[in-house]
Structures are given as structure tokens and as C-alpha cells.
Amino acid sequence: PATPSLKVGGLDLDYFSPKEYIIGGTKITGTEYLDKEVLVTLSKLAKGDKVVLPGEATAEAIKTLWAQGLFDDVKLNIEKFVQDTVYFEIEVVERPRLSSIDLKGVRKSEKTAIQEKLNDKTGKIVNDNLYNTTSAIVKKYLLDKGYFFTKINYTTRKDPNSENSVVLEANIDKGHRVKVQHIDFTGNKDFKAAKLRKYLKNPKQFAWWRFWGSGKFSKEKYEENKIKMISKLHEKGYRDAELLKDSIYQFNRKKVNIKMDLYEGKKYYFGKITWAGNAIYTTEILNKVLSIEKGDIFSEDKLDKKINGGGENGGDINSLYTDNGYLTFNIDPVQTKIYNDTVDVEMRIYEGPQYTNNRITLKGNTITNDKVVLREIRTKPGQKFNKSDLIRTVREIGALGNFDESKTVPTPRPNPSDGTVDIEYAVEEKPSDQIELSGGFGGGRIIGTLGLTFNNFSLRNLFNLKAYKPLPKGDGQKLSLRGQTNGKYYQSYSFSFSQPWFGGEKPVSFGVSAFTSLQSSGIGDSSNPNYYKIRLNGVTVSLGRRLNWPDNYFQLSHALSFQQYILQNYPGFKFSTGTSYNFNLSQEISRDSRDSPIYPTSGSFLRFTVQATPPYSLFNKVNYATASDKTKYRFTEYHKWKFDSQWYQRVGGQFVIKAQAQFGFLGSYNSGVGQSPFERFKLGGDGMQGFDFLQGSELIAMRGYANNTVIPVGANASQAQTSGSPIYTKYVLEARYPVIKSQQATAFILAFAEGGNTWDRFNDFNPFNIRRSVGVGARIFLPIFGLLGIDYGYGFDAIPGLPDANKGQFHFSIAQQLGGF
Amino acid sequence: CKSRFEKLRASNDVAKKYQEAIRLYNKRDFSKALVLFEDLSQKYRGREQAEGLNFYYANTLYKLQDYTTARYQFKSFADTYPASKDAEEARYMAAYCYYLESPTFSLDQENTYKAIDALQLFINLYPTSDRAVSAAKYIATLRGKLEDKAFENAKMYLTTGPSNVENYRAAVIALKNAQRDYPDIRYAEEMDFLMIKSQYMYAKNSIPIRQEDRYNEATDLYNEFTANYPKSKFTNDAKQLKSDIESGIAFNKQEMATFAADQAKYMEMLKKTGKIKDTISAKPIKADNTNIKNK
């Protein structure tokens, strides 16, 4: 065979006998913008170096130059040999470099998304390859969005900002976003095409009446949904079902057809279910928990749910074991035998040892002290490992409000040698303090508010300057301060403090709060005849504790409260000058199983409150029939009953339904004394506290009606509005949809229907005779500002005497008590 | 009109900037000095003066109490100029910055562990240095912090016992674990005593049938304690506990006897009324799954 050789300039370069040469020089040709010296350096074929020909060095030189990505072509020639000296010539074809791609004909959001995918293209040379890859990326992206017939043509222009660079302009003609005319199925026997289309969900077949919704075709979704459709068939017992082939073809400019070829297979049923490896639980118990009978329609999905469960409530095989210490429990359902239409399943179980909790540690608490979290942890050393407790603990750490719920991660670390498990809870602190700073109109004047809430306060470090960052923090106590004033006319200051584990031994919360406020005419001082004022002072002490019975979601609290009302020439009240005292005790029992305080998606909240004053009229020997109002109301007496129930449920996807019913009743001990002028309910509007605290009224929001306008039927409008009413009821049905769910903010939109009313006498009370409204709104929760809301409601029922009370109403709300009355 | 400092800052006269920065540093105007050092550390990269400059820069950050950045700068100084006369100090300062960043024991101790590692590394590198002595002292302080944490967190279970009986059992386990983790923990004596107390409380609040065993465990702990610490400041309290345990056992025995008698009477009555046949021997008490009496 002929020797492979290369003839250059009459010299043979024989691959079998390479020879060493000295480089006499390297010449670069074909460059326009690039520096020749640099290219020679890059090629490593410098003058004076030695080189073996043929050899590695030349190949390496070409490789290196290619790797720069600057050239369309690189050639290495040997110009000449002079004895043992070689002269190289490197011939390059320089191409302009891409500085950016300018996409035209697409929307801004699409442009950003495509741009991101194209990102690494800049700096490359502009050639056919670039056009092809770019087109492929753009078309793929648009295809996923439903644009099937995209056309792209390119033009280039020089980039004025940098040498030898061009801007590539891609003119995209998206064409129409296609819809689906027909979806046809072949190979289906037991399932009708209509049923299959339903399983597919999206895309939907074109129909003239479907003018709204997802008629548009998204390739991306289609790919997802066709898998879902098949798994739906599996769920129905057709375990062999398969999509053999599917094709999408053009129907016309705006529409495509889809054809799907299915293999349905036959319908299978569960046969014998046997258990292997179970020692702790008998087959009988396991079968009961599994609750799948012989003859049930076969579905792997159902089997999986029964084994691994979905919720934390258990009822599945996995929880049965993992809630009883079997942390390393494992189950493998094996289809042992398939005959005719029956599938026998053997559950192969590995039970493993029963683990006991050992070390419980906390990590990541850079602000909050250990004990604040540790005392809430339900998995305790010495207990059997319990997965439900673990999950519940994560939720309760979240409920403390100091940590990012989504970043609370429990890590169980089993030690198989001694059957113990160490659990580490990793948390991440989040800002939990709130500030309310507002200026607005109230009572026709500018009013300023400053409110501060510290949710992780530490009272014992108040005098320890080292703990200030910027305030003493870390003990999980809550301190809030609020001041509101518009100068002389109105001032209100309040303070509250609460401690979740009073005394440190039991989860008994202790709270103390106080307020003082003043409203006056603002003119002159008390000697002026037109001067009037009302001053309120109040202090409340409360104790609350969590109960373990009937279940551990219950909470019981007691509060003792004292209020003083000092009136001087004050108009519009039962008496104008005098002092009134309200001394009351309230008891509250509540059950809160909501899964999150801000945006609950499941669970409920129930609350029942009784508040009562001593029955002074029984023993104070005042003749109430003849006594003046001033004497009558010196010691105000009443009893008050309130009930609130909220219920949350996730329905289909992200939607959450909230249902709420409230009821309040204010009664008197003695008909001679009459109903209390204090503590009444005012229904309607945004429920925000304004000047209405004056009689200790409770404000109940009801959207679609102006503030305090839902008054009893037949009542004197102005009187009923100022005094409030003793009985109310309210119902809310709300659909919510989350828009943002992140650590920085939670936001959701909502649509609501509400109904509610007030009554003067219990005899008139009719819970079905209500004023109604509907509307939409949005809420955003920002960690530092609290909850901000806006609603638009439309009230259907006119209120006699108050023509502006109903119809369209906007409501703004700030930092309202979450889920409060 | 710009101040002199602003003008200098904007200028390119690096030599003058360097001088001014050092002057400001000596004048203790660290925040201004920092601005210049930051700027210069970029410009002097790879130059001879960079060594002195970077050491000043790290020290300025330290003086400004930005310990996180200072630590980084000290460490990178020591890594870049291992032969420098300041390298030892830089290593030491880097570890010391970790030490300063170690929070109070009741918070996450990640920086404490890192500080111990860094200080130990310093001691290994410069065992004869004067600073090694103070480094060892800091390590002792930090270890003390970890001991405090282990002790307090274990004790918490005893404190919160009234909220949940199982916390008493948890206390015994947590105290044992803390001793295992820190064999020379300085609270060892108190912890042994608290273990008796926790076990006693656990036994006392258990259902009657479990009480005797649990009291006996408490007695074991007591015997161990008196053997280990014949002259403890807790001796009197421990003796009190011992007598409480004894009376607890006595009371429990009586309680169980009464219970058994009642049970026997009830059985007798059932037999008489013919509701139960003689052949069936009734079990006296059924053990409850929870083993614990809810109080």
C-alpha cells in the first residue's frame, strides 16, 4: 500500500517519519479587525520554536483558533520550507460577531422569555448555523404557546457601538394562535370520545359557544395533559391503556386537528391482596386500613393513595407505621399474578425497628431563643417517633409568626444501632414586626396614626442594651403601641403586651392592654361654655390556655376589663356630663385548626364568647324607673354573647372557599334598666375603627354598605347609626385565589357574597331576613405592613332613611385583625 | 462645592489617597478611611504596597465592627501573604472575629462551632505564640456556651413538665444526652440531681400501674447520685426527694391494693349474679396504651 504522505512545495511530509523543523515565521492572512500578533501567539507557532511535522502542534494550532469562535474558517498552510526551516501561513475567514438579537413581532413578555433562552448566542459569529438554531428556539417557544405557523426572516445591521459586530434583527410573524377544530380518537371501545376529551381537559375542541376559556392550543399543556388522560384511564382500571400515536395536523390557517390512537386494553379488578413481612399489625388490621376489596376496580393510583396517603390525618398504611415509630418502614406493592381481568397484589413490607425520639435540636434561629420554639415542638425525647406530630410541629412553628413557614424543614436522623432518631428542625427567621404609619381623613380633619407591633419582643432584655437589635427580641412576646391624633380634637393611645408561656411552665398566655382616648370640641378649655369632651380609659388583663380536650386545637381564655367614660357637655349621648364605668369579665372558647394564619386553605375557626358585667341592679337599690340616665348608667350592666365560625376549603386547583357565619347578642339583666348604650354592634362598611370606639361599640365589616349603615328595619336612622344595635348576624361566602405566595408578600383576589342584619329586640330577630351584597376584592399581606385590602361591594337592599348606604361601595382596610369578628 | 475629602476621593492620586487613608485611620475616623481603603485595594492589586494596605483595610473593618467582612479580609490577607510579619495576627483576628460573632447560647450556635475550629487551627499553627494562650481561653468560653445551651435546653423539659407529663421523661433523656455530648460539663452534679427530680415527677404523674417501676428508676438515680457526690450542695434536696419517692411507692402500693380489692369484690359480685363463669379469670387491670395519666 502507498505510504500516506503530504506533498508540500515539492517536499514529502511522511507520517511515518516525522521530522523536526524550526519555525521561520507565521503569517496571518484574511484578518480584518483582529490583531495578527495575538493570533500568532494563540497558535503557539512562534518564530524560532521547534516543530515536528507532521505532528500535534499544527493540529493544536487550528483547534485553538477555532475555539475562539471568531472565524468562519481557519486554514493552516505551509508557505515554504527553507532547508530545515518552515514558514507557516494561517488563513482565516473573519466573520462579524453577534452583539445582540433584536426580536420583532412578539410581545414584550415573550421577547424577554425568548431572549433568555437565546442568551448564550451573543459573541458568536453570524452564519447559517446561527440562523437555524435561533429559528429553532423561537419556533419551539412559540409552538408551546400555541403558534404553530411561525415565520422568521433575518436582517443584520452593523452595531455602531462595537467593531465588527452586528445586530441580528429577527422579524417574527407569529401567525395565529391556533385553536383545535377536532380531537379524534381511534382504538377506543369502552370510552366515548367525549369522555376522553373530558379527561384530556385541555385543549378543548372548538365550539361556537365557547367564547371564553382555554380554546387556545398550548403545546406544552397538551403534552402534559395527554399523559394525564392516560393515567385517568389507568385509574379506571384499564392498566394497560397506552397512547400509541398522536398527531397534530393543520386544518386551516387558524386551526389544527388532533388525532390520537389509543390502546385501551381491558378493565382490570383487584384480586387477592396478600401481605408479607408484617409482624406488628395483623393482616386483618392492614386490610381494614387499606380498605380495598377483591373485585374493586384496579387502580394503581388508588392503591398508592391508600398506602402513602395524601393528608396528614393518616388513614393510610404509611401513617399507621410512621406514626408509631416505624420510621424506616417501607412497602412495595407487587403485582404477583395477572389472570384474565384480575390482578393479585402482594404487599411486601419492611417494618424495621421502632424508633424513639432522642435528641431534638433547632437550627437557624438567629433571633428567636431556643425555648420559644423548643417548647412548641411535639416530638419529645423518649416518645415513639410520630410523623403526624412532626408535621403538626412544622405548622405550629409557622404559627409562631417568626419563621418562614416554607423554609421550616424537619430532618429525622435515625440511628439504627440503638433504635433512636434525632430530629433537627431547621428554621429561617423572617421579619415579623409591623409598622402602621398613616395620614388620612377622619371626621373631616387630617388624622395621623402611628402603630408599631413587635411580634418577637423580649421584655426581660429591656434593660440589656446588648440584646437590642434594634429592639430586645427573641422571647416570642408581643408588644404593640399605637397612637392616633389630629391635635386637640382627638387623641388616642393604646398599648398591649402579651406573653405566650406565662411563668414558663405551661402554654398559658398572659396579656395586658390599656388605652386612653379623648375627643373634644377643641375650642378653649373647660371654662368655655361650648367646650365638650369625652375621655375613655381602659385596662384589660387576660389569660388564655390551650386545651387538650376535646382536642388540642381548643383554646380557652378569660379577660377582665375595666373601662371608664368621662363626659363633659357631651352631646348625642344618654347623658351629657358624668362618669360611667364598665367592669366586665369575658370568657372565650375557640378552636382553630386553620393551616395558615394569613392564607388558610383548609381547617376551620370557631369562637364563642360571653362577656358580662356584675348585675348591679340586683343589689344597688336604685329605682331604675325614676332614676336619671346619669345614675342609671353610672355602672353599666349587660351580658353579651358572640359566636363566629369560619371554614376554609380548597376546591379545584388553587381556589379556596371561605364560609363564615357570625352572630352577636347584647342582653340586659333587668328590663327596668334597659339595654346597655355601650358595647353595641355596628354593622356595615370596612369594619375599621374610627371614632366609634366612644361607646365601646364593636364594628363589624359588611361590604357593599357604607360604614355603620346596616341598621334595624324601622329604626330611626340617625339614632340607630350613632348608638349601634344589640343584635346582629352576618354570613359570608368568599372564593379566594392566590396571586403571590412568597416570603415577601402574600396576595390573593376574592369574590364574595355577604348577608347580614341588625335588630333591636330579640322578638324581631329573624336570621333569614338579611341585607345582601356581592363584590370582588384583593388582599395583600406584607410582613411589615400587615394585611392591606380593597373591596368593591354592591349592596342590593336599600336602607330606609340612608339613601347612600347601599349600591356600589369601595372599602379599604388596613392591618385588620386576621379573621377577627 | 465638594469637600476636600470628596475631591480626594474622586482624584486618581493614589499615593496621596494612601497617605490620607492612614492619617484618617490613626485619627480613628474609620468610616472615611474605609472608603479610601476600599478604593485603593482595587487599584493596588499586585503591587508591593498592597500588603500593608490590605492589613489596614481589614483592621478598619474590624474597628467598624463589621466582623463578617473583617474576618474575610483577615483570612484572605493571611492566605495571600503567609510570610508577612502580620500573618499571625491576621489569622488570630480572623478567628477572633468569629468569636465575636458567636451569639448568646440560646440562639443558633453555628458561628460558635466555626469560632472554635478557627481558634483551634490558630493554636495548631502557632502553638508557642502568646496569642495561643488567649485563643485557648476563648475556646473555653465558647465551649462553656455550648454547655450552657445543652444544660438549659434539657432543663427546659423539666420546667415545662406541668404542660405535658411526657416532658419529665424527655428531661431525663435530654439531661443524659447532654452529659454524653459534654462529658466534662460543669453542670454535671446539678444535672444528676435534676435527673432524679424529673424521674420522680414522671413517676408521680404516671398511671398507678406504671408508678412503681418508674419510682424505682428514680431510686436508682438517687443511689448513683449519692455514690458520685457524697458531699453535694444538693444532698439535702436529694434526700428530700428520696423520702418523697419512698412515700410515693408506699402510697402507690396502697392504691394498687385497694384497687385490686375493689376489683376482686366486683368479680365476686359478677360471679354471684351469674354474669361471669368461674373458669374465666379476669385480668385485674388493662394496661392503657398511653401509659400516662392525663392530669
- Give one DSSP letter per residue of A491-516, joined into a string: EEEEEEEEESSTTTTS-EEEEEEEEE
pLDDT band of A302, cuts 50, 70, 90: confident
Segment A294-321 shows an average pLDDT of 81
Taking CB atoms and an 8 Å cutoff, what residues of chain A touch B158? Answer: none
Tell whether A375 lies on the interface with B, counting CB pairs under 8 A.
yes
CB contact under 8 A, B177 and A375: no
Residue B140: pLDDT band (50, 70, 90) is: very high
Which amino acid makes up residue B13? D
A626 vs B: CB within 8 A: no
- pLDDT value of position A442: 57
Note whether A505 contacts B163, CB cutoff 8 Å.
Answer: yes
Return the sign of the alpha-carbon dihedral for residues B79, B84, B90, B91.
positive
- Encoded amino acid at A360, one letter: I
Q: Are the beta carbons of B107 and A505 separated by less than 8 Å?
A: no
Substitution target in A385, A505, A509 with the highest count of B β-carbons within 10 Å is: A505
pLDDT tens string A787-808 = 888 999 999 999 988 888 888 8
User: To which residue does cell 359566636 refer?
Assistant: A643
Q: Whose CA is closest to A752, among A768, A730, A729, A767?
A: A730
What mean pLDDT comes out for the span A644-663? 91
Q: Which of A573-577, A590-594, A653-657 is the least confident region?
A: A573-577
What is the percent of chain A with per-residue pLDDT over 70, rounded to a whole number?
A: 93
Query: Average pLDDT of B141-158?
Result: 96
Reported confidence tier of residue A157, pLDDT bands at 50, 70, 90: confident
Top-ranked range on mean pLDDT: pick from A54-63, A172-181, B211-220: B211-220
A367-378 average pLDDT score: 94
Q: Which residues in chain A have Cβ-Cβ distances shorter than 8 Å to B167?
A: 380
Residues 471-490 on A with a CB inside 8 Å of B are 474
Interchain contact A469–B (C-beta under 8 A): no
Q: A373, A424, A371, A446: which is closest to A403 by C-alpha?
A: A373
CB-nearest partner of B163 from A381, A383, A507: A507
Q: Which residues are registered as beta bridge partners of A255?
A: A179
Which amino acid type is present at position A616?
Y
Residue A392 main-chain phi, psi, to 5 deg: -60, -40
Largest CA distance in chain B: 113
Contact A696, A726 (CB under 8 A): no
Are B107 and A506 in contact (CB < 8 Å)?
no
Is the pTM higher than 0.90? The answer reads: no
Question: Cell numbers 361591594 correspond to what residue?
Answer: A793
- For residue A488, pLDDT over 80 is answered with no
pLDDT band at A40 (very low <50, low <70, confident <90, very high): confident
pLDDT in tens, A82-100: 878 888 888 888 777 787 8
pLDDT value of residue A214: 53
Give the pLDDT band of residue A821 (cuts 50, 70, 90): very low
Angle between helical axes of B188-204 and B166-181 (0-180°, round to 10): 160
Tell me which of B173, B201, B217 to substitute to probe the interface with A (most A C-beta atoms closer than 10 Å): B173
pLDDT of residue B278: 52
The pLDDT of residue A99: 78
A199-222: average pLDDT: 73
Chain B residues lying within 8 Å of A359, measured CB to CB: 174, 177
Q: Tell me the nearest-neighbour CA distance from A500 into chain B, angstroms.
A: 13
| Cβ neighbours for A747, distance < 8 A, ≥ 6 positions apart | A738, A739, A740, A778, A779, A780, A781
Q: Are A177 and A251 in contact (CB under 8 A)?
A: no
Q: Could you tell me the three cell numbers for A577?
A: 356630663
Three-state helix/strand/coil letters over B102-166: CCCCCCCCHHHHHHHHHHHHHHHHCCCCHHHHHHHHHHHHHHHHHHHHHHHHHHHHHHCHHHCCH
DSSP symbol at A626: T
- Whether A504 and chain B come into contact, CB under 8 Å, resolves to yes
Give the span between the Cα atoms of A619 and A164, in whole angstroms. Answer: 102
Residue pLDDT, tens place only, B261-292: 999 999 898 888 876 655 545 454 444 444 44
**Higher pLDDT residue, A690 or A116?**
A116
Contact residues on chain A for B173, CB-CB shorter than 8 A = 358, 381-382
- What pLDDT score was predicted for residue A29? 86
- What element of type H or E holds A584? strand A578-592
Q: Which pLDDT value is given to residue A695?
A: 67
Q: Give the mean pLDDT of B88-104.
A: 94
Distance CA(A543)–CA(A547), nearest Å, equals 13
Cα–Cα distance, A148 to A516 (Å, whole number) = 69
Q: How far apart are CA A113 and CA A136, in angstroms?
A: 14
The pLDDT value given to residue B275: 66
pLDDT in tens, A263-281: 988 899 999 999 999 999 9
Is pLDDT at B12 greater than 50 in this prediction? yes
DSSP secondary structure letters along A359-425: EEEEE--SSS-HHHHHTT----TTSBP-HHHHHHHHHHHHHTSSB-GGG-EEEEEEETTTTEEEEEE
Task: Measure in Å the smallest separation between the Cα of B198 and chain A Cα atoms.
Answer: 13
A817 or A145, greater pLDDT: A145
Nearest CA distance, B108 vs chain A (angstrom): 5
Could you tell me the three cell numbers for A580? Answer: 360611667
- What's the gap between Cα B10 and its chain centre? 49
Q: How far is B174 from chain A (nearest CA, A)?
A: 7
Residue B289 has a pLDDT of: 45
Q: List, for residues B157-208, the tens digit of each pLDDT value.
A: 999 999 889 999 999 999 999 999 999 999 999 999 999 999 999 999 999 9
